[in-house]
Amino acid sequence: MAKGAFDKIAAGLNDAIAFAEGDASRGKIAVGPDIKAIRGKVKLSQAAFAEKLHISAATLRDWEQGRRMPEGPARTLLGMVEVDPDAAFKLLAKVATRANAA
């Protein structure tokens, strides 16, 4: 391993240790979307919201309870629902219709 790579790894570990010991200036916390608030905005039950997103209710529950975080496309989709729920759900319905027709 090149010395430069070792130094970068060592620096990262030192930052992680400092963060674990309370030095928040040396770490970043990734915060995902507030799924429960997004669902509340559209006034849907967990089951109905999960159905509209084409995901399982269990996945939605895990997201809302912080056991898992949505990644990649799911985060984008949730952002779209948060900004314009009517348009997002309309597009999702069209995609589902096309997929069922194929």
pLDDT in tens, 21-74: 988 887 777 778 999 999 999 999 999 999 999 999 999 999 999 999 999 999
DSSP state of 55: S
Q: Is the pLDDT of residue 1 over 60?
A: no
Terminal-residue alpha carbon distance, the chain? 51
Which residue from 56, 86, 87 is spatially nearest to 74, judged by alpha carbons?
56
Q: How far is CA 35 from CA 41, 65, 92, in A?
A: 10, 9, 17
In this structure, how many other beta carbons lie within 10 angstroms of the beta carbon of residue 88? Answer: 19
Are the CB atoms for 18 and 26 separated by under 8 Å?
Answer: yes
Q: Quickly state the pLDDT bin for 102 (edges 50, 70, 90).
A: low
